[in-house]
Chain A
């Protein structure tokens, strides 16, 4: 809530500063005094985890950049040089590459939490939109970062993904050439990707600032989806959520450290330890795991759309795939206006729940299919799941809002807490809150 500031400067210096640049007041209002619903569960800790990982990626990335050489002749060996000969290099490099995977894992959890609890609904539409923008920027950053080690998968992923733009009618080829800086992926592509890979995280940081600002105006959503009604419903962000977020972050770091130190290459592909070779195409070109669901949708459209009873092609399969690929992201921008149900939290929406979990399973299924060769039954299932992905947003959410009878909502957050604790004690579990 953007309530009144309760900060009172005490010393002479803070009073002097407060009337010139109220930065301490700002920090106090946003990080200490900020009233936060008291019933947030652990799914709400991923915002803090994501912020921490943005920091980890920027710090490790800056150190890697000190030793990395962005030319096609030296890039591969310079990454190996970091791993072999730079002090702590193996660990810093592993922290960065595993960090990208953990960053996306946390991001997907964060987004799916928002989708379940209706965190995109009024008055948080702008918050959601900024989140989708961060997602797009992160995808661009991760994709360009994956190209930098200049292994076989780096090179061929860059080739395949930039190729996507050539499907755009009329201007596609020109855009492709402009993106690559030439007719093929080559030195100019690598250097510009390196430059942008260094730039985009700072843009992400800026949008994260806006995202947090847009969070602090309406305040947090919560598992009941019921709006905060009184001070009874909230606690101060510090120390209540600083400590809870820190605990969750440390647990997440344990998982992260497990992979960094014991299986640093587990999220990668063996082919990326082969230096890029434009003359040898790997048998299966697979992007990093976090792009697989979208890659599956891109490849699922393997048919032309024709005018019925004629051979006239309205939409060829390549452009169709690209539309599915970009559409799957663009549709996220419209979610706040597609789901008109007045109830935010999925907990109180008996029908929504099932469609939601089907959506989650379908998305994971698309991830699995993205790693498989595009043939046989894989394509058929990918087509069905792609159709469901779009139907969920464009058909199911709008219809559910009309036909579903939601369960009765608790009168307030405090009331729901009381009800829950009462039920617990009644069941004899005796757990104290």
Chain B
């Protein structure tokens, strides 16, 4: 009698699990458009570190292109010479900062050349100015933009992220967005004045025109291609560093902590075995 009950419950359990797994994708088709292509970043995974040359190139793109519209209020000039970042020399940073004129915090009515401790200057005097100049949309601040964006992932694939420690959804999104422009919107899709169609932007109507074009930024030497694809990669990496400046240091400490905990666990296990050796349990 209990046996029969057991079997039917078993069927019920399996049926429910199956319903959960199969029923889910059936309704998950709301955001049409191509899937973003995930990139292999130098800073991905547990061993990943920033590529200093790439950060310097990315900074060049940020400075010459992005920063004419986007602020990065939490980025200070001094950060650019910190270890684990683009690592410009302090001299270079002093000279760079001096090229910018900022409001003097000690005397808000006067301006002065920026110093290393100043934040990256906002291109707009006010939010209203930013909105008026950009098609009614305030260009988002870039301080943590690479953490504030992500790429969608279907169940159950995102569960692998816990094992691979995938944290690069932001740069993947930015890279794809910069490469996702279409010259014309697909048939049936209407864009407002000044908007551009982008595969990866939510709802596809993006107020930012394509910011990059081949050859727009001049890299030193001839090794690195001066293409939109390369610019997009470099600036995405740079923005990841802006959002997560202590990534390399954090992972380095992590290894020491894990090695310590691993050894500690082994010792505790052996002690546990020893302590319990006389007890049947």
Which residues of A line the B interface, CB within 8 A? 38-39, 77, 80, 83-84, 90-91, 94, 235, 239-240, 243-244, 246-247, 250-251, 253-254, 257-266, 270-271, 273-274, 283, 350-351, 354-355, 357-358, 361-362, 365, 368, 372-373, 375-378, 381, 404-405, 414, 417-418, 421, 433
In B1-60, the 8 Å CB interface with A consists of 2, 5-6, 9-10, 12-13, 16-17, 19-20, 23-24, 26-28, 30, 46
Bound Cα distance from A378 to B155, whole angstroms? 14
**B204: Cβ under 8 A from any A Cβ:** no
Nearest Cβ in chain A — how far from B246, in angstroms?
Answer: 5
**B157: Cβ under 8 A from any A Cβ:** no
**B276: Cβ under 8 A from any A Cβ:** yes
Do residues B250 and A250 form an inter-chain contact, with CB atoms below 8 A? Answer: no
- Residues in A whose Cβ lies below 8 Å from that of B264: 250
30 A-B pairs, CB-CB below 8 angstroms? A77-B74, A84-B74, A90-B249, A235-B281, A240-B275, A243-B275, A244-B276, A247-B269, A250-B264, A254-B258, A254-B262, A257-B258, A258-B254, A260-B254, A261-B253, A262-B167, A266-B165, A270-B150, A271-B148, A274-B140, A350-B6, A354-B9, A355-B9, A358-B16, A362-B16, A373-B30, A375-B27, A404-B2, A414-B280, A433-B279
Do residues B250 and A254 form an inter-chain contact, with CB atoms below 8 A? Answer: no
Do residues B265 and A270 form an inter-chain contact, with CB atoms below 8 A? Answer: no
- Residues in B whose Cβ lies below 8 Å from that of A271: 148
7 cross-chain pairs, A with B, having the tightest CB-CB distances, nearest first: A261-B254, A273-B148, A354-B9, A247-B268, A270-B150, A262-B165, A263-B165
Nearest Cβ in chain B — how far from A247, in angstroms?
Answer: 4
- Residues in B whose Cβ lies below 8 Å from that of A250: 261, 264-265, 268
Residue with the highest number of chain A CB atoms closer than 10 Å, among B16, B165, B265, B281: B281
Do residues B155 and A90 form an inter-chain contact, with CB atoms below 8 A? Answer: no
Nearest Cβ in chain B — how far from A91, in angstroms?
Answer: 6
- Residues in A whose Cβ lies below 8 Å from that of B258: 254, 257-258, 261
- Residues in B whose Cβ lies below 8 Å from that of A362: 16
Question: Which residue of chain A is the closest to B262 with respect to CB atoms?
Answer: A254
Number of A-B contacts (CB under 8 A): 149
- Residues in B whose Cβ lies below 8 Å from that of A377: 23, 26-27
Bound Cα distance from A181 to B254, whole angstroms? 42
Q: How many residues of B contact A (CB 8 A)?
A: 61
**B149: Cβ under 8 A from any A Cβ:** yes
Nearest Cβ in chain B — how far from A285, in angstroms?
Answer: 15
Question: Which residue of chain A is the closest to B9 with respect to CB atoms?
Answer: A354
Do residues A368 and B24 form an inter-chain contact, with CB atoms below 8 A? Answer: yes
**B94: Cβ under 8 A from any A Cβ:** no
Also in contact, A263 and B166, with CB within 8 A (given A351-B2, A361-B13):
yes
Nearest Cβ in chain B — how far from A329, in angstroms?
Answer: 23
Interface membership of chain B positions 137-156, coded 1 if the CB is closer than 8 angstroms to chain A and 0 otherwise? 00010011101111000010
Which residues of B line the A interface, CB within 8 A? 2, 5-6, 9-10, 12-13, 16-17, 19-20, 23-24, 26-28, 30, 46, 74, 79, 140, 143-145, 147-150, 155, 161-162, 165-167, 169-170, 202, 243, 245-246, 249-251, 253-255, 257-258, 261-262, 264-265, 268-269, 271-272, 275-276, 279-281
Do residues A368 and B20 form an inter-chain contact, with CB atoms below 8 A? Answer: yes
Query: Which one of B12, B19, B24, B243 lies within 8 Å of A372 (CB-CB)?
Result: B24
- Residues in A whose Cβ lies below 8 Å from that of B255: 261
Nearest Cβ in chain A — how far from B175, in angstroms?
Answer: 15
Bound Cα distance from A247 to B136, whole angstroms? 58
Query: Which one of A247, A251, A376, A418 lies within 8 Å of B280 (CB-CB)?
Result: A418
Bound Cα distance from A298 to B79, whole angstroms? 45
Nearest Cβ in chain B — how far from A237, in angstroms?
Answer: 12
Question: Which residue of chain A is the closest to B203 with respect to CB atoms?
Answer: A283
Bound Cα distance from A38 to B279, whole angstroms? 8
Q: What would 17 more interface pairs be, CB under 8 Å, given A84-B79, A377-B23?
A: A250-B265, A254-B261, A257-B257, A258-B258, A259-B162, A262-B165, A264-B250, A265-B147, A266-B165, A354-B6, A357-B13, A361-B13, A361-B16, A361-B20, A376-B26, A376-B27, A417-B280
Question: Which residue of chain A is the closest to B280 with respect to CB atoms?
Answer: A433
Bound Cα distance from A259 to B276, whole angstroms? 32
Question: Which residue of chain A is the closest to B144 with respect to CB atoms?
Answer: A273
Bound Cα distance from A362 to B264, whole angstroms? 37
Nearest Cβ in chain B — how far from A264, in angstroms?
Answer: 8
Also in contact, A381 and B272, with CB within 8 A (given A240-B279, A273-B147):
no
Nearest Cβ in chain B — how far from A271, in angstroms?
Answer: 7
Bound Cα distance from A274 to B276, whole angstroms? 52
Query: Which one of A38, A90, A350, A355 lies within 8 Å of B246 (CB-CB)?
Result: A90
- Residues in A whose Cβ lies below 8 Å from that of B144: 80, 273
Question: Which residue of chain A is the closest to B145 with respect to CB atoms?
Answer: A273
- Residues in B whose Cβ lies below 8 Å from that of A258: 165, 254, 258
- Residues in B whose Cβ lies below 8 Å from that of A361: 13, 16-17, 20
Nearest Cβ in chain A — how far from B211, in angstroms?
Answer: 20
Nearest Cβ in chain A — how far from B281, in angstroms?
Answer: 4
- Residues in B whose Cβ lies below 8 Å from that of A83: 246
Question: Which residue of chain A is the closest to B12 with respect to CB atoms?
Answer: A358
Also in contact, A350 and B162, with CB within 8 A (given A90-B246, A254-B265):
no
Do residues A243 and B280 form an inter-chain contact, with CB atoms below 8 A? Answer: no
- Residues in A whose Cβ lies below 8 Å from that of B166: 263, 266
Also in contact, A257 and B254, with CB within 8 A (given A250-B264, A263-B165, A433-B279):
yes
Query: Which one of A39, A265, A372 lies within 8 Å of B281 (CB-CB)?
Result: A39
Bound Cα distance from A155 to B170, whole angstroms? 21
Query: Which one of A270, A351, A414 lies within 8 Å of B169 (CB-CB)?
Result: A270
Nearest Cβ in chain A — how far from B141, in angstroms?
Answer: 8
Also in contact, A243 and B271, with CB within 8 A (given A254-B265, A351-B2, A433-B281):
yes
Do residues B148 and A239 form an inter-chain contact, with CB atoms below 8 A? Answer: no
Question: Which residue of chain A is the closest to B22 with respect to CB atoms?
Answer: A377
